[in-house]
Amino acid sequence: STAEELLAVDSIHTYYGQSHILFDLSLSIDRGEIVALVGRNGAGKTTTLRSVLGLTPPAEGTIAKDGEPIDGLEPYEIRKRGISWVPEERRVFGGLTVEENLRLAASTGEGDQSDGFEDVYERFPRLDERRSQKAGTMSGGEQQMLAIARALLGPETDVLLLDEPSEGLAPQIVDDVADIVRELNEEEGVTILLVEQNAEMALELADHAYVLENGRIVHDSPAAELLADREAMEGYLGVK
Question: Closer CB to ligand ATP, residue 82 or residue 165?
Answer: 165
Q: Does 1 bind ligand ATP (CB under 6 A)?
A: no
State the minimum distance, in angstroms, from the CB of residue 223 to ligand ATP: 18
Considering the complex, state which of residue 39 and residue 82 has its C-beta at the smaller distance from ligand ATP.
Answer: 39
Shortest spacing between CB 83 and ligand ATP, in angstroms:
18
Please report how close the Cβ of residue 39 comes to ligand ATP at its closest, in angstroms. 6
Amino acid at the residue 128: D
Site pattern 161..200 for ligand ATP (x: CB under 6 A): ------------------------------------x---
Site string (9-48) toward ligand ATP, x via CB under 6 A: -------x--x-x-----------------x-xxxxxxx-
Residue closer to ligand ATP by CB (options 83, 153) is 83
- Binding residues for ligand ATP, rule: CB under 6 A, are 16, 19, 21, 39, 41-47, 197
